[in-house]
Structure 1
Amino acid sequence: MGSVDLIRSCLDSLRQISDEISGAILYIDSGTKESFQFTGSIPLLLELGVRSVCSLDNLSPLDAAADWSLNYVDPATKVVIITSRLLSDTHRYVLRCLGTHTTIQCCIVFTSIPEVSHSALIDSPLGPDAFREYETLLTQDYEELVRKRNNNANLTDTAAPTRLSVSVHHLPMLICPVSSRVFVLPSEGTVTEQCLSSEVSEESLGPGLPAISSGRSLDGDDVPSGITLTAHLLYYLADKMDLKLEIFSLGDTSKAIGKTMMDMSSLYDVSRRTKRSAGLLLVDRTVDLLTPCLHGDSFLEHILSTLPRQHSTTSSKATQSPNKVVKRVPLNIDVPFDTILKEEQVNNQLADNIMNFVSGWNSSETDDSNYEISPKLSGAFLSNYTGASYLESLLDRGAKDGLLLVKKWLLESLKNEKLSFTSKVTSQSDLRTMVKILSRDQKVLVRNRGIMKLALTADAANSEPQSSRWDAFVSAERILSVSSADSSQSLSSEIRDFINTSITSQGILSLKDVLLLSMVGYILAGENFPTSVSMSPFSWEEERSIKDAIVDAILMKPEDAKFRFLHGLEKELEAQAKKNNTKSEGDSEKSDQMDDFDDHWGNWDENEEEDEDKDDYGEVQLKLELRDRADQLCKFFHKLSSLPVRSPTIREALVDLSKYESGTYGTRKGLLYKLLSAILTKGDVAGIEYHSSAVGRLFKSGFGRFGLGQAKPNLGDQSVLFIFVVGGINTLEAREVMEAITENGRMDTELILGGTTLLTPDDMFDLMLN
């Protein structure tokens, strides 16, 4: 059997449905679009005979006219829909699509959600035979739609309309592979948006993260929908890649997922002997919250953390489920293509070329006065292009090394296009210059769009103020790390000082930024000064100073205080912001009014005192309320600091893994690096649970008493290792696991690393506090 390649597997899954999609108008939702951008699937779809690829979320009657292929003359009679959502959530879009195109006779729906998941959710209207049920439902609704349309048009022809042929299928390989071995799930898909923990639970940090492990088993109604859907997705994903899994887990949520997958294996899997053996390790994100909260030395993380990402394109009404939905930011970066035009004031040829490219090569119909470059060219930065493994190469690079590699690729592109660029010393400003040279010809622009996007995003991430903000975070996190090794008093003092710096208008870090640093400080305090579950790692005086600093920072900059723990105080904070603005304006005008003070001091003084009394009373009330909210915030921080002590099993695992810490001073390695190092050296790690098969459980309970028990497999013996982090991964962890394989001399081991989503420090803050 060949080696594992996620991108190749995704493309092969599309080739396997070539008969279904050939000659069809293809509609994809936002989650599918995100997946196709990562895999570079659009060119393949056109090769397979698709007429056009259109947006399901924003469909138009003109979609039928936008035929990308010259092989078809007659109107389309087939439409194919690929969705990353439940059929019940997609139904109204599918029906609208069929109502828009009147010549359609065949509708084929592919969903990444397996049939068993549709019936497993409590609020799902579909049963065990979900796909067949939906085929009937869609046919009935379509016929009703046609009857209403005919009645409204007063048609006299009573002949029955052509019956619509409907079929529904499962397409499991709808993932976002960052490289051939690293993947996440689509940000706007159903699985990613489902809750991983219940907010009413004391162990919950937010619905988008697993609950803190406490040793309690999740069974029955206690299992959130995100756990069930994740288990189903991983089972069918492994099945599609012909992997026979030996399942291990670390954490309560991962344990529930592993149990569900093993139960499915007992029911559905009848061909395990023909598959390749692989070890699956499920890990709760909450076992290591610190790593994704830090600004690590990773080129891709630097870009993801500093540049704006595109907003969700899915309507808030897209999901009909009454359950709470976790909204995640799409992974599409806003590529700043407009920056290369800022200095082109005299010669407009470059702008004309780009506008021609964006407007479909038809410059005569483009109104230059109203044309906007940036929105049209804001595309996906994280994309894999045919023949170019950019992300694969950048994934294991630090910020500086990645920038040098991008410059090298740009120079190679210029050389291949036979374009000259003379510079003895390559500087950051040369990135824009080289991109401008590549943009002057439309065909060259199309051929090199991948490296051009990379160069522009790298240039923007290393420009001001993004560069200074990143450096400030790295410096602050280093200070917190050093202080945590000293004393709680030193650490609390640093946290307080960082909060106070956000008050100044010249501060690089905002209020949100320093609260993120406070989270980091409390997690470090929990590691170095462990206490009981409900207690603070700091003394009463130390924590009181932190609370006072938080309250003062909010009062000074209430316009920035848009956090979950301040819900219900929006009007009061808005009034405080107006008061602050009025006060600053009044201070600037005060000197001009001093000349009139002596003439009108009596009446003016009395009125001012009355107004000041009212303002002071309102500010005192707000300050008291903010102190209560600061108390609640610190209680939440206590959860973060108590992670190592809530579960004895997890505490033992962290102790076992501490020996795999890097020996370099100041270099902290994340949980996945330590776990993989322990696995590859076949070291023992407490807390990792093995999920035995039905046969294994029979041996354990029955024949085990006669010494015929099934031996527990060792993860380190597997030639294929599959690590999935429930809650998400970051690119630094992907870099570190590659380092672990290299350092342990296990290059023969094939590793697949996956996660719910791709996390940045800002994402972690939003999941817990926004």
Structure 2
Amino acid sequence: MSGCPAAAALAACRQAWEQVLAKAKRAVVFVDAACAESLHWAGGGAGGLLEAGALNVKEFSSFEAGVAEQPKAVFVVSSLLKGRAVDIIRDIVSLSRFQYCVVFTAVSHAVHLLAHGAPGGAEPEAGSQAVFEQFEEKLCQWMGNMNYTAEVRHAPLLLAPISPHLFVTPAFASLFPMTPQDLARINASRPEKKKFGSLNDLDFSSLPPELQLQIRTLVSGLNSLFECLSVREECFAIGTLSKIIAGDLANYSQARNRRKTAQNRASVIFIDRTLDLTGAVGHHGDSLAEKIFSVLPRLPGHANDVMVNMVELTALQTKDETCNIIAPGCLAQPNDPAAKALWESLMNLRQKEAVMEVRRHLVEAASRENLPIKMSMGRVTPEQLSSYIKLFKNNSKALRNHRGLLQLVLATIQALKHPQNAKWDSFLAFERLLLQNIGESEIPSVLNELLPMIKSHNERTANDYTAEDFLVLLVYIYSVVGEIKAGKELDKAEGEVKKALVQTLCDEPELSSLLQKITGEFIFQCNEKTVGMKFVPKESIETA
């Protein structure tokens, strides 16, 4: 397409949020996690809402509410106005004294129609938005007066711009391609003569209703983006789910109308994530940004940002102790040109070059503030960067002027010092060895070599792999090995690895957040006589 598509996409993101900002004046704003992440990267974050006149910004939760002095509320949600989202809005409104409520949903009215049983989700004639109008009446009922004001609007809050050329969709972080197990579940509800032979036989209408709505929501959001860009797209797809999404976009009625008048052309490629699991779990990259994302803790509610410990820069020393309670920093600094330039370097350069860029930006910032910095040549170390950053600590003006840059520098320091960073090279070496072994022998032999390395919590040292690490390695192994020949030898090897992993999980004093997500709503039960895993639903156990 002509012009700069990245700049146009970023402008489309900000344009969507301008609708919300225009309604934020004198309101308490409730934002769900996915929309908060979009705002976080698109520019402004909670600060942008406050600058637009919002009285407060709160989590979209039934445990939140407004106070008597806050008669106006704005809700910003990434989901359908159905189910849990409706329950939360009702709880908040009922506990408050609002007289004016505005609800922004990232899901179009056409998708709401589909969710409520309208065929194809087509819009009614004359542009009527019946579902939104009905929800406005509910809002007035919950506020306790039908003469109060309620508005429901669609805003395409789909994208979070991580960089000028990388956009993510936080609301679809859990959307994952289908597997053979999904095919079995779909076939279970179909008559024998109409069962699907493979995933490639599936089409949109054969998918579960929840997945249909999720796909149509994504398609609707993409259509809104392409409408802002005035794009006529040509779609390509690799993978079953990607083909379904591309096909639904091609047949989407609003998309067909847009393509008739679009001035620009673009190619859109959809790729199932299962086709690149090796890249997702491998350690072959040399990007500093990738390591920062991998080792620093996630910012709560965000899938694409991390918490940066700011104590080194902001801790205050009192007579008794160091006061180190401070909000974490983050990577997103959309309103800081210097930080944006450095973030681009962290994303695109090799680690050695990126670290040198970190030092260069830090030295230049210190020089502009007339701080007594001594430039040194040679290898850049975390200790060297820490010594430079301490110059800013007691200079409030310098801190304000370069706070975005300093957060990225601290993220770099903490990632380079993190124990997990030392494991990165170990993972890389082990993955290369696995590739060599897989090329020379069958997978049972590889699993047998892996088995002695699986150790319980009490037996592990700092250099040993955790249960979480082994799950990553197993995903890597099965992703690169290709077709696997079944047999007794494979069954035995896999059985031994499963047994060792289950025992390791049972011995863990506390499961990590990732392992808790994997185990989901189940509780592990095992003993000396148990081989393998037994899953017991929580509701069937009186005392866990």
Would you call these one fold, judging by a TM-score over 0.5? yes
Task: Tell me which residue corresponds to 1:478.
Answer: 432
Q: Identity over the aligned pairs, expressed in percent?
A: 21
How big is each residue's C-alpha offset from its partner over 1:397-441, in whole Å with a ceiling of 9 and x where there is no partner? 233332222222222221222212225354211222233322323
Task: Tell me which residue corresponds to 1:27.
Answer: 30
Match 1:119 to one of 77, 90, 113: 113
Q: In the alignment, is residue 523 of structure 1 matched against residue 479 of structure 2? A: yes
Task: Tell me which residue corresponds to 1:278.
Answer: 266
Q: Is the 8 A contact 1:499 1:553 kept in 2?
A: no
TM-score for both structures, normalised by structure 2:
0.79
Deviation (angstroms), 1:178: 0.9
Q: Is the 8 A contact 2:447 2:493 kept in 1?
A: no
TM-score for both structures, normalised by structure 1:
0.57
Could you tell me how far apart the structure 1 residues matched to 2:96 and 2:522 are? 47
Could you tell me how far apart the structure 2 residues matched to 1:46 and 1:569 are? 43
Q: Is the 8 A contact 1:40 1:384 kept in 2?
A: yes
Any idea what SS the aligned residue of 2:152 has? strand
Task: Tell me which residue corresponds to 1:387.
Answer: 337
Task: Tell me which residue corresponds to 2:530.
Answer: 622
Match 1:505 to one of 460, 463, 479: 460
Q: Is the 8 A contact 1:119 1:128 kept in 2?
A: yes
Q: In the alignment, is residue 303 of structure 1 matched against residue 289 of structure 2? A: no
TM-aligned CA distance change 1:244 to 1:423, over 3 Å: same
1:234-383 alignment to 2 at 5 Å?
234-265=222-253, 269-270=257-258, 272-295=260-283, 296-312=285-301, 330-338=303-311, 340=312, 351-352=315-316, 373=325, 376-383=326-333
Could you tell me how far apart the structure 2 residues matched to 1:128 and 1:9 are? 23
Deviation (angstroms), 1:463: 1.6
TM-aligned CA distance change 1:542 to 1:163, over 3 Å: closer
Task: Tell me which residue corresponds to 2:202.
Answer: 217
Q: Is the 8 A contact 1:215 1:252 kept in 2?
A: yes
Q: Is the 8 A contact 1:15 1:48 kept in 2?
A: no
Task: Tell me which residue corresponds to 1:608.
Answer: none
Deviation (angstroms), 1:253: 0.9
Q: In the alignment, is residue 233 of structure 1 matched against residue 221 of structure 2? A: yes
Q: Is the 8 A contact 1:203 1:212 kept in 2?
A: no
TM-aligned CA distance change 1:135 to 1:420, over 3 Å: farther
Task: Tell me which residue corresponds to 2:188.
Answer: none
Rg (Cα) greater in structure: 1
Deviation (angstroms), 1:500: 1.7
Match 2:359 to one of 385, 407, 416: 407
Any idea what SS the aligned residue of 1:440 has? coil
Task: Tell me which residue corresponds to 1:90.
Answer: 85
Q: Is the 8 A contact 2:177 2:240 kept in 1?
A: no
How big is each residue's C-alpha offset from its partner over 1:295-345, in whole Å with a ceiling of 9 and x where there is no partner? 222222111111221444xxxxxxxxxxxxxxxx6333121223x17xxxx
TM-aligned CA distance change 1:123 to 1:432, over 3 Å: farther
Q: Is the 8 A contact 1:472 1:509 kept in 2?
A: no
TM-aligned CA distance change 1:372 to 1:458, over 3 Å: same
TM-aligned CA distance change 1:463 to 1:231, over 3 Å: same
How big is each residue's C-alpha offset from its partner over 1:164-217, in whole Å with a ceiling of 9 and x where there is no partner? 22222211144111111211112xx3x44467548852479xxxxxx9984213
TM-aligned CA distance change 1:199 to 1:107, over 3 Å: farther
Any idea what SS the aligned residue of 2:525 has? helix
Q: Is the 8 A contact 1:307 1:461 kept in 2?
A: yes
Unaligned runs of 5+ in 2: 186-195, 536-544
TM-aligned CA distance change 1:512 to 1:162, over 3 Å: closer
How big is each residue's C-alpha offset from its partner over 1:270-314, in whole Å with a ceiling of 9 and x where there is no partner? 5633431111111111233221121222222111111221444xx
Any idea what SS the aligned residue of 1:622 has? coil
Q: In the alignment, is residue 171 of structure 1 matched against residue 151 of structure 2? A: no
Q: Is the 8 A contact 2:16 2:157 kept in 1?
A: yes
Q: Which has the higher contact order (CA 8 A, sep 6+)?
A: 1
TM-aligned CA distance change 1:114 to 1:567, over 3 Å: closer
Deviation (angstroms), 1:234: 1.6
RMSD between aligned alpha carbons? Answer: 3.7
Q: Amino acid of the residue matched to residue 622 of structure 1?
A: T
Any idea what SS the aligned residue of 1:81 has? strand
Task: Tell me which residue corresponds to 1:180.
Answer: 164
Match 1:463 to one of 409, 414, 417: 417
TM-aligned CA distance change 1:140 to 1:122, over 3 Å: closer
Match 1:201 to one of 166, 182, 196: 182
Could you tell me how far apart the structure 2 residues matched to 1:508 and 1:304 are? 22
Q: Is the 8 A contact 1:502 1:511 kept in 2?
A: yes
Any idea what SS the aligned residue of 1:178 has? strand
Any idea what SS the aligned residue of 1:108 has? strand
Unaligned runs of 5+ in 1: 65-74, 147-160, 205-210, 313-328, 342-349, 356-366, 577-618, 630-770
